[in-house]
Structure 1
Amino acid sequence: MPVEFIGIAATKPFSETDTQTTGPAVQPAYLRELALAHEESGFDRVLVAHSSASPDGFTVADQILTHTSRLGVLLAHRPGFVSPTLAARKFATLDAFHPGRVALHVITGGDDADQARDGDLSDKPTRYRRTDDFLQVVRRTWESTEPFDHTGEFYTVKGALSGVRPRTPIPIYFGGASPDAVRVGGRHADVYAFWGEPLAGIAERISQVRAAAEPYGRTPAFSVSLRPIPAETETAAWERAADILRLTRERVGDLRREFNLDHSAQEGSRRLLDYAAQGDVHDKRLWTAVAKVTGAAGNSTALVGSYEQVAESLVDYTTLGVDTLLIRGFDPPADARAYSRLVTLVREQTDRGVPAGVGGG
């Protein structure tokens, strides 16, 4: 199978370096522009992210799918706010209108305060147990052709049967670095997602998830999220990286107010900050400076170099067993268009079976 590429969706311009943050939260023309840029560049999907302040993801996803012809969506969803039978029908309905273009990204929630803004006061271990129960019901709702009962710690349903079911399975993507996340994700994930750690860290995490999945007879695929900063030359790329870091430092206070998220309790963020403390550059060109400045607020490690060098580093992850690359830039529409070159280079190398380290300067 070719490498899957996932980009980012947004309903308004916003990034670590974007100083134009005014305007309504939903700007339909911008969302269409960004979606079409990803489709034209050869991306497979775009991530529709989630927070307690985000626009409704199902509506955003439908808009993306309606205004494109091939591009899929990876729709983030937090268990606990919608019953699993209803959530399953919502995803299945979206898939019925856009067959094969919908995937579920399970976000259990690592920020207690953000959960509380939507009325969820449970702690993190409880949320992961709830996610486990939730996904059991979701899968049965998608798959069952006869009424079923379920009695779990969090959800009890009697005679559940959905009138709409996916024609082909809706893939479940799953993220999280804590032991609870690995345990639950190992049981349910079709694709397990990691933030952009050094190669040795990703190899370690793949091994952990595979071990957790084995008792359930599952063999998940893997995703890595990165922020490529490519240019025509390595020197030009590092010049752009310096500008990005300068703007991020200037805007870090605005960023924290805009996102209103606390990543300090997230194991994935802690891991990124540990790597950042060890040095700004890991492997060939994994750059951690933005993660350090932002407190590793989500996907925040970059690959810096020429297009050929960045593609080479992306291929290095695929040699570990990574099947999906989630890449987003610091100027989303422009970077989505520019990344068409990375998508082509990576697919050419992986389709030919070119070893890591070949083809880049």
Structure 2
Amino acid sequence: MSSHSEFLWYIPNDIKAGHRGDAAGENHNSLDTLTTQAKALEEHGWKGALIGTGWGRPDTFTIATALVARTTSFEPLIAVRPGYWKPANFASAAATLDHLSGGRVRVNVVSGPDHLAAYGDQEGDQVQRYARTKEFMRLIRRLWTEEDVTFHGEHFQVASSTVAPRLVPAGNRLHPKLYFGGASEAAERVAATEADVQLFWGEPLDGVRQRIEHLKALSKTLDRDLQPLEFGLRITTLVRDTTEQAWADAEAKVAKMAEGAAGSWQDHRHGVAVGQQRLLDLARQGDVLDDNLYTAPGKFGGGGAGTTWLVGSAADVARSLRKYEELGITHFVLSDTPYLTEIKRQGSQLLPLLLP
């Protein structure tokens, strides 16, 4: 793989263990448990980890701050929602953590459904939702890179706003990278003009190829005024010593999910987003697509990054990830449960095949 690809993991900030047949331990979400995972990531070659968001979970930014304080190189990819945060509050919090951590902050802006009324927020239709997200992203970038910012948008306003501390540019990094997901037309228009990195879920290679081409074309049409858009893959990777063992374990996990023993990702969601529906529809094409993309989990409660899994030996999974990289993916956010076991296993077996 080329030297500029980056490999991150996923750290749960959810009281429930997840949707891959992993039973939650008693201290599943304690600072010690999560710190152990973050330190294991540092020791096993990972760049950092995505920390998810959603009402009814512990606060994502607080967890990221605690983990940054207990680590030295771990980079949190902090999922945040417009509306839960106002742009200036978020820009200041992120600039502060970026300053304290020596430039380790990454941000994933999420626009999917949430229990908005619970924290006093409201949204209109999808068009309005993404218009607000676009304003949020544009404004926080301005607050990070300009001083004395005045902005009067439809959704957000600031006057004479200068965020402290000021971010210190490092090479071509002017501010924390803004990651973004979403497959609807409204989402793609936001990604094309505002995002630094567009994250895809685990679609087959053809689907990812088409979406990359479409987003590159959109970036030109919409006169993107930022660095070229980068692309990432957020997917479950089930790795074992042999191909046979991996498939045996994958099928056993799905059987457990089919019994309803694993909990459902749908427990805390409302409605199904376009990108999620694309993944669920894949199962109609077959249980295994490309070389080793397993779609069956989506039929039995697997959602989000757990809808499709890349299954196999380290060599099998590395070969598949390389094919995504050949399409232009440079950011990989992998995970499997139990988290700590897999951070170590995949860090030891898979990453050496992928990192220079």
Query: 1:176: Cα distance to partner?
Result: 0.5
User: In the alignment, which residue of structure 2 is the partner of 1:128?
Assistant: 130
Is contact 1:16–1:247 with CA below 8 Å preserved after alignment?
no
Which whole-Å CA distance do the structure 1 matches of 2:262 and 2:247 have between them?
Answer: 24
In structure 1, give the amino acid aligned to 2:165: V
Which whole-Å CA distance do the structure 2 matches of 1:25 and 1:241 have between them?
Answer: 23
Q: TM-score, normalised by structure 2?
A: 0.91
Which whole-Å CA distance do the structure 2 matches of 1:80 and 1:17 have between them?
Answer: 30
Q: TM-score, normalised by structure 1?
A: 0.90
What secondary structure sits across from 1:216 in the alignment?
coil
1:10 to 9, 12, 15: 12
In structure 2, give the amino acid aligned to 1:315: R
Deviation larger for 186-195 or 13-22: 13-22
User: Are 1:174 and 2:177 an aligned pair?
Assistant: no
What secondary structure sits across from 2:115 in the alignment?
helix
Which whole-Å CA distance do the structure 2 matches of 1:94 and 1:272 have between them?
Answer: 35
Relative to 1, partners in 2 of residues 1:4 and 1:334: Cα closer, same or farther, differing over 3 Å? same
What secondary structure sits across from 2:107 in the alignment?
strand
Could you report, residue by residue, the CA deviation over 1:55-101 in whole angstroms, capped at 9, with x for unpaired residues? 11121001211221111010000001222111100100000100221
Which whole-Å CA distance do the structure 2 matches of 1:344 and 1:298 have between them?
Answer: 23
Which whole-Å CA distance do the structure 1 matches of 2:332 and 2:312 have between them?
Answer: 17
User: Are 1:272 and 2:275 an aligned pair?
Assistant: no
User: In the alignment, which residue of structure 2 is the partner of 1:322?
Assistant: 329
Relative to 1, partners in 2 of residues 1:22 and 1:240: Cα closer, same or farther, differing over 3 Å? closer
Is contact 1:7–1:45 with CA below 8 Å preserved after alignment?
yes
User: In the alignment, which residue of structure 2 is the partner of 1:351?
Assistant: none
Query: 1:125: Cα distance to partner?
Result: 1.9
Which whole-Å CA distance do the structure 2 matches of 1:50 and 1:224 have between them?
Answer: 18
Could you report, residue by residue, the CA deviation over 1:90-145 in whole angstroms, capped at 9, with x for unpaired residues? 10000010022101100012x2x533433333132211100111112111111113
**Unaligned 5+ residue runs, structure 2?**
170-174
Q: CA RMSD in A?
A: 1.9
In structure 2, give the amino acid aligned to 1:323: T
What secondary structure sits across from 2:284 in the alignment?
helix
Deviation larger for 7-16 or 200-209: 7-16
User: In the alignment, which residue of structure 1 is the partner of 2:294?
Assistant: 287
Is contact 2:236–2:305 with CA below 8 Å preserved after alignment?
no
User: In the alignment, which residue of structure 2 is the partner of 1:186?
Assistant: 192
Could you report, residue by residue, the CA deviation over 1:332-352 in whole angstroms, capped at 9, with x for unpaired residues? 11011111121110124xxxx
Query: 1:28: Cα distance to partner?
Result: 1.3
Relative to 1, partners in 2 of residues 1:234 and 1:254: Cα closer, same or farther, differing over 3 Å? closer
User: In the alignment, which residue of structure 2 is the partner of 1:91?
Assistant: 94
Deviation larger for 312-321 or 286-295: 286-295
In structure 2, give the amino acid aligned to 1:308: A
* Count of residues in Structure 1 that have an aligned counterpart in Structure 2: 343
What secondary structure sits across from 2:264 in the alignment?
helix
User: In the alignment, which residue of structure 2 is the partner of 1:195?
Assistant: 201
Which whole-Å CA distance do the structure 2 matches of 1:99 and 1:212 have between them?
Answer: 34
In structure 1, give the amino acid aligned to 2:212: I
User: Are 1:344 and 2:346 an aligned pair?
Assistant: no
Query: 1:17: Cα distance to partner?
Result: 4.0
Could you report, residue by residue, the CA deviation over 1:135-157 in whole angstroms, capped at 9, with x for unpaired residues? 12111111113x12111111121
Query: 1:212: Cα distance to partner?
Result: 2.1
1:225-240 correspondence to structure 2 within 5 Å: 225-240=234-249
User: In the alignment, which residue of structure 2 is the partner of 1:262?
Assistant: 270
Which whole-Å CA distance do the structure 2 matches of 1:239 and 1:25 have between them?
Answer: 26
What secondary structure sits across from 1:47 in the alignment?
strand
Relative to 1, partners in 2 of residues 1:252 and 1:120: Cα closer, same or farther, differing over 3 Å? farther
Is contact 1:25–1:55 with CA below 8 Å preserved after alignment?
no
What secondary structure sits across from 1:319 in the alignment?
helix
Overall identity of the aligned pairs, in %:
31
Is contact 2:181–2:199 with CA below 8 Å preserved after alignment?
yes
What secondary structure sits across from 1:165 in the alignment?
coil
Which whole-Å CA distance do the structure 2 matches of 1:14 and 1:222 have between them?
Answer: 28
Query: 1:19: Cα distance to partner?
Result: 5.5
In structure 2, give the amino acid aligned to 1:158: A
Is contact 1:199–1:317 with CA below 8 Å preserved after alignment?
yes
Is contact 1:194–1:225 with CA below 8 Å preserved after alignment?
yes
Query: 1:22: Cα distance to partner?
Result: 6.4
Is contact 2:297–2:306 with CA below 8 Å preserved after alignment?
no
User: In the alignment, which residue of structure 1 is the partner of 2:145?
Assistant: 143
Query: 1:7: Cα distance to partner?
Result: 0.4
